[in-house]
Structures are given as structure tokens and as C-alpha cells.
Chain A
Amino acid sequence: MFGYYLDLAFRNLKRNPGLTALMIGAVALGIAVCVMTLTMYRAMSGNPIWWKNDVLFSVTMDFWDPQQPYWDKKPELAPEQLTYRDAMAVYESDIPKHKVIMHKAVGILSVDGSSVKPERTVTRVTTKDFFAMFDVPFQYGGTWTDAADTGPEPVMVLSRKMNDRLFGGENSVGRRIRWDDNEFRIVGVRDNWMPLPTFYDVNNGSLEEPEDVYIPFGWNVALELPSAGNTNGWKPEDIQTYQDFLSSESVWIQMWVELPDDSARGKFQAFLDNYAREQKRAGRYQRPLNNRLTKVDQWLVDNNVVSNDNRVLVGLAFAFLAVCLLNTVGLLLAKFLNNAPMTGVRRALGASRRQVFFQHLVEVGVISSIGALLGLALGGLMLMGLRALYTVDPTDAGGTQALAHVDMTSVATALLLAFFATIAAGLYPAWRIGRIPPASYLKAQ
């Protein structure tokens, strides 16, 4: 029976090609715009480490200006980064399973005797747990030791991309490399890793690719590295030396911890609060006690990673899909009613309402499938156009390269959503046509 309905559906589609084309076009366009917008939305706001959402926490502490909150618009939040002295003090705690303090820096990477030109690379100055905590995969080797962080030892982890460029992709563990003219030894090559957005450091463009180079945290003091990200302060301070900077009230360090269960979380929260109370006695932390452990999903919301533009775009996508679906319902209705006399004959010859309903639903299915295929192709074209809009300099590995890494699941989600919405849109017309009394169409014949 299904085969027969399919055959009928194709015949009916051919009967008025103009109307059919209009319908398929509307479905395809609706699906394409939805696929594009939702893909973009997901790329910008998805939780890239959802499987660890309940155990990963960003650490923020409110020691800001007693006169005014860090953020006027969200006065309940603490600054999104820590001061060096607070970060070092809190890092001492052994309650978390994993803990990381870090910041971004920039250095010139070069290999002695290599034909590859020295290159300015964005570098993450971090502690050893970074990779285990964020589930960063390794191609070769692995992370460094605790001693390397405090030493600091001249060890480095490269990205696979950078390893491909500098060493032709071979296992470079143990090779020598220079970072700002200091010799380092490679201990690991991280495999391709593309957390979207880069949740662990949201104050520097959340759509950027992760860093290509990782070095132990102790190097910031050893090399007097400034942060390549935002540094914010509230207190006028006379900062003359790097040591002044380290003990200042400027925030520039990001901190994350992994707390496996509620009891660890409670303990760590108490540890933070105790630390803040101690600092209060020393004259710091003048604001009400506000030490926060924030999960990744909440963190993305707090930090406005989902921009208002994005929310408007998603609203627009749904408005668009709604118009396309209303359109499809209207056109399907028109088309089915156009064929009502024939349906009347079929009903008179013994087809049940149920059968008529299913026959028309098959027709809707054919239209949605063709529309979905076309829509997918069209959506792909639109995404390419979108990428072109965002590419400022094709050679520049910047910001929205991220859009190049569209993952298939988000495309599939959008596609399925649109497909089933179209089928749902066909339910009413198919039901309506089944309820037509056959007699009125037979009389005139």
C-alpha cells in the first residue's frame, strides 16, 4: 500500500508543478535558514564540555571596589578573573581533584636550524592539570609534572597544528624549541581540540581557537610575562615593577577546579570563604562575602557568551520557520482541495478516511523530504556565505574560523526539527481532506 501511495504522491506532485515547486521551495528555504542560524547559535553558545558540567567550576572571588560592583549590570557577580596573589593562595588547596590557574601570553616560537620562519604564537601559561581537567586529547607524549610548574622547568606542549607546521607532524617529544628566545623541550603534542566556545577563558574572544603552545605556570614570574588577555583593576596603585604587579589588585588569572561530588564542593567553598575572611581581617575583601563556584553552562550565560545578536537571530530563525510552515499548510490545503473531486471518487469507491489521510500524509512526507534535501544544500551554501562574511583575512587564524568546524550533530538536529515540523504542518490538511463528504464532488460529474 505504501508503494502505491508513494506512486500517487509523485503523480499528484507532477499535476501542478508550479504549486509543487512553490511548496518545496518554501520548505527548503525554511529549513536552510533554520539550519544556518541554529548551527551558528550552537557554535557560539553550546556547552563544549557538557559531560563534565557537574564537576567543573570556575572560581571567582569578590574583593572589588567597596564603592561599586565589578559589573554594574550584574552586581551579584564577582570579577571573572583572580589576582595573582589570590590565585596562588587558593591553588594551595588540595580539596579539588584537579585545579588549574592560568593566563594567556604571546611569544615568538622558533626552531634552530629550521627553514620555518619564527612565528608569533598565542600561548597558554598554565598548570599541569589543564589537559586532564578539560579532557584535552594528546597525539604524542603528555603533560608536565608538578615540579615543572614551580621550577619552572623549560617544558612545552604544542598543538598538533603547530607540530605539523614546525616538525612535519612527526613525534617531536624531546625536541628543542625556542619561545621568545628561551630554550624549551617538547613533552607533548595535543591532538586536535576545538571547544566551542573557548569557555575556559571567555574574556578574550570566545570564538577563538585554543592556544597552540602551553608552558608551565611558573614561567610568568621567571620571564616577567604580562597577560595577553584583559587585565582589570579598580584601585589606583603605583605599579613600578613586575613584583608590584604580582601583588597588586589587578585581575588577570583564570582559575578552574574539578570537584567530584557535593561534599568536595562544600569543603572547597568553605575553604574559599575562610580565605576571604582572613583577607577581610587584613583589610582586603571589603565587599560582602561572595565567592562563587560556577558551572560551565551558567558561566557562559553570566559572561554573555551568548550575545543579544545571537538571541535575536534565533528568534528570527523561528519566525522564519513559522512563516514557511504556515505557508506550507496553506499551500498543501489548496493543493489537496484542488484534488478533492478525485478524492471524492476514491472515497466513493471504498477508501476509508484513514486511508485517505495516510495517502495524503505520504504526499506530505515526499514534499518534506525533497524540501529537506534541497534545504540542506541551500543551508550549506548559506553557511559558506556566512563564513565569507566573517573572514577578514583568509590567512589569519582568527575568531570565526570556528564556523568552519560546524559539527554534524547540530546540522542533523536542525534538519530533523524542520523535517518533522513540516510533517506536522501536513497533518491538518491531510485530516481535513479525509473529512470531505464525497457526494458533493460526485454530483457535478
Chain B
Amino acid sequence: MTAWNLRPIASALWRNRTGAILVAFQIAIGLAVLVNAVYVVKQRVEKIARPTGMDTANMIWVASAGFAKDYDYDASWREDLATLRELPDVKAASLFSNIPLSGGGSSNGFQPRPGEVTPKETVQGNNYDVDEQAIAALGVKLVAGRPFEVHEIQPPSEAFEMSPQAIVTQAFAKEMFPNDPNPLGKTFYDGLSKPITIVGIMEHMHGAWVGWDKLDHVVLFPRIKDGPNAVYLVRAEPGRRDAVMRDIEARLGDSNPGRLLRWVRPFDYFIHQSYLDDRNMAIFLSSVTSALLAITALGIFGLATFNVSTRIRQIGTRRAVGARRMDIVRHFLVENWMITTAGIVAGCGFALAIGYWISIKYELPRLDLYYLVGGVLTIWLIGLFSALQPARRASTISPAVATRTV
């Protein structure tokens, strides 16, 4: 007889296997879901937490829509920008063609040389038309070069026209000129082979679509957005964002009857919206997985309780012939461990299969085995804790029970 009495425990279990098999199945599913849910949630959390390169906490976006026949767009944006820049606690204000991280924007292909190029040579970038205060208003860090100067700002163009200068992100410059350590001052071309000179390089900045792998390929052009709709970016002094937003509403709300002040919104609003699906998926997966594990734990608990209650006389007999309390607890815990482990073995197969399916669907790297190891340990612990109370209760059964009838 081994110290752990594995054989008799296993044979007792085998005689009443239906319940055990059911619980083992639950554990298998629970493990598979747990491992993959943790994997997906971690991807989402990391995606949401990526640095944007911008001073997002203090940024405000303002949208104005001109609609009257006699609306003078040119005078209007000048007046609005002057008003915004005069407000207290405003660091900088700039006119933008689109809002980064909002899911809306413009992207174009650029190329390192003029003429026809292959699709491989084309470098995609999120492009924005901005004015001379853009760098200050975004709060991005320039690692080389300078912000735009007033005389470089081009007038509005209804065509999709690029400007002769640009400020680009490091990531964009690196892909455009992979072999050049210092791309400042170099020239690249738009799809019509018009030359564009890099006058500044940003350390990092996010563009329009959070799901795009070219998110950090940003190209800023010195140009006034075409009318009659305008989007202003205002950067407030640290901590003054909400006060500045109230000021903007008060000052621009009725300043011009030919237009509508559509909204004044913190940058967080757009970022939150862009990542909404990712965040909700993370919340949803975590809560459903927790509920599933809780139900599995209840199943283990229920089975153990039932096993104890149907074997009261046998336990009493064992106690009467000399088994210690410890032995009874160990019996039930080992029995439970066997069930859990059977479930885990099946669950590993499920987990890998689902992980494979998810990696194909989401085009993610294959499930890391660390997750599986972590999941197995977690399930073992859950199994142990769920069976602890019934096992303890079993050990309190008095040996006298064995001598009674019923």
C-alpha cells in the first residue's frame, strides 16, 4: 500500500464515474476558455495602452460647420484661431484637416523616387493638413528639424494636393529611407511625383485608425484645411482642459450666425471611442470567463459534496478502523485532484485547438505555452479550493456513524 492510497481512490472513483466525467468536461472547457481569454485580453490591454506620442490629456478638439450661403470661411478660421489663441491657459491652437485616433482621416501612398514605382516601394502614411502651431498643439517631440513656419502654410485646396514640405514620424522616415540614419532635409514624392522635403522629424505620433499597422506613419503638411467645415486643436496648460473647454463654448458658441459650433470635445472622447470595441471585448471576456470559472468551481463543489454525503457510512467505518481525519481529507482531495487532472489533460487539447483557430482569425502569433502552464496551475488551485470545504466536512464525520443503521 502506497502512502497515498491511489489505487483504491481511483477504483472508488471509477465505480461512480458519471458525475466525475461531467465535471472533468467542465474543467476542460474552463481551461480552454481561460487560457485563450487571458491571451486575447492581454493583447487588447497592450493595444489600448500604446503611447500616442501626443499630450492627449490636455488636448481639446473643436468642430465648426459653416452653412450659410454668405459664410466667409477664410475670415472665419482666422478669427476663430485668434480667439482661441488669446484664451487664458491655452498653450497653442491649430487648424487640422482631421482628428488623429478618431477612426476618420486620410491616408496616401508616398514613394522614395519620382515616376512609376512598385507597390512594395510605396510607403503608406496618415496625412494631415495643419498650420504653424501644430507641433506645439500636439505636444509631439521633434527629434530633428523644426516646426512649420508661417510663410510655408499653403492656402486651402479642394484637390487632394500635397505641400512641398512635410514633418514626418521617425517610423515613416525609416521606412522611406531605410539606409539613411539622418533623413532630415531629404525629398520624397507623392503619387503624382511631386517632391516633398522633410523639414522636421517627430519621435512618435499616432494617426487615424487604431487597427492599422501603419498607425505610426504620420505625415504633416503645412496647409489650411478646405472649408466650410473646420476642426481646431487646442492644447491647454496641464490640468486646465475642462476650464478651457467652457471658455471655448462661451466664446465661439454664438460668435458667427453663419456657422454651427458642432462640438467641443476632449481628445479622450475620440481615443475612448476608437478603442471602445477593444476595451469592451476585454471587459466582456474577463467577466464571462470569471463567471464560467465560478460555475465550474460550483460544479466541483457540488460533486464533492454529493460524494461525501453518499459515503457517510463508509467514512465512519474507515474512521472506526483507524483512519485519521487527515486521511479522509486527503482521500477526497486526491480524488478531486484526479478528476481535475483528467479535465486538464483534455482541456490542454481544447485550449491549443481554440488557440490555433483564434491565431488564424486574428492573425496573431500562436498561443504562448506559458499561458497554458499558468492556466493549468490556476485550474488546479480552483479545484483544490472548491473541494476543500466538503473534504473538511467529511473528516468531521464521527466513527460512531458506522455502528448505526441509517
**Chain A positions near chain B (C-beta within 8 angstroms):** 19, 22, 25-26, 29-30, 33, 65, 67-68, 107-108, 110, 117-120, 180-181, 236-242, 244, 307-309, 311-313, 315-317, 319-320, 322-324, 326-327, 329-331, 333-334, 337-338, 386, 389-390, 392-393, 432, 444-445
Contacts and interface: CB of A to CB of B under 8 A. Distances in A.
B23 A330 contact: yes
Contacts of A308: 361-362
Given A236-B192, A445-B406, A120 B22 contact: no
A33 B362 contact: no
Contacts of B269: 392-393
B33 A239 contact: no
B118 interface: yes
B302 interface: yes
A334 B306 contact: yes
B361 A312 contact: yes
B69 interface: yes
Interface stretch (B92-100, B123-131, B283-291, B371-379): B283-291
Interface stretch (B140-148, B196-204, B274-282): B274-282
8 contacts: A181-B67, A181-B69, A312-B358, A317-B288, A327-B302, A330-B302, A334-B19, A444-B406
Nearest to A178: B67
A80 B235 CA distance: 39
Contacts of B18: 333, 432
Interface in B280-335: 280-281, 283-285, 288, 291-292, 295-296, 298-299, 302-303, 305-306, 309-310
B382 interface: no
B13 to A, nearest CB: 14
Contact of A323 (B26, B159, B193, B406): B26
B139 to A, nearest CB: 23
Given A180-B67, A327-B26, A334-B303, A108 B260 contact: yes
B299 A319 contact: no
Nearest to A33: B288
Given A181-B67, A181-B68, A323 B292 contact: yes
A59 B69 CA distance: 37
B29 interface: yes
Which 5 A-B pairs give the minimum distances between C-beta atoms?
A236-B191, A108-B67, A334-B306, A330-B22, A327-B299
Report whether over half of chain A's contact residues are helix, strand or loop; otherwise say mixed. helix
B276 A330 contact: no
B84 to A, nearest CB: 21
A313 B280 CA distance: 11
B377 to A, nearest CB: 20
Contact of B192 (A238, A241, A329): A238
A169 B362 CA distance: 47
B68 A19 contact: no
Contacts of B405: 444
Nearest to B257: A118
B340 to A, nearest CB: 14
Contacts of A319: 29, 32-33, 292
B159 A239 contact: yes
A239 B190 CA distance: 13
A120 B260 contact: yes
B119 interface: yes
B17 to A, nearest CB: 11
A22 B29 contact: no
A237 B192 CA distance: 7
Nearest to B270: A392
Contacts of B65: 108, 120
A329 B288 CA distance: 21
Interface string B152-183: 00000011100000000000000000000000
Contacts of A315: 354
Which one of B69, B291, B299, B406 has the highest number of Cβ atoms from chain A below 10 Å of its Cβ? B299
A67 B119 contact: yes
Contact of A320 (B22, B288, B358): B288
B129 to A, nearest CB: 15
Contact of B30 (A29, A323, A392): A323
B33 A110 contact: no
A120 B159 CA distance: 24
Nearest to A340: B310
Contacts of A117: 260
B292 A320 contact: yes
Interface string B104-144: 00000000000000110000000000000000000000000
A366 B279 CA distance: 39
A316 B288 contact: yes
B337 interface: no
Contacts of B299: 26, 323, 326-327, 330-331
Which one of B18, B262, B279, B358 has the highest number of Cβ atoms from chain A below 10 Å of its Cβ? B18
B356 interface: no
A429 to B, nearest CB: 9
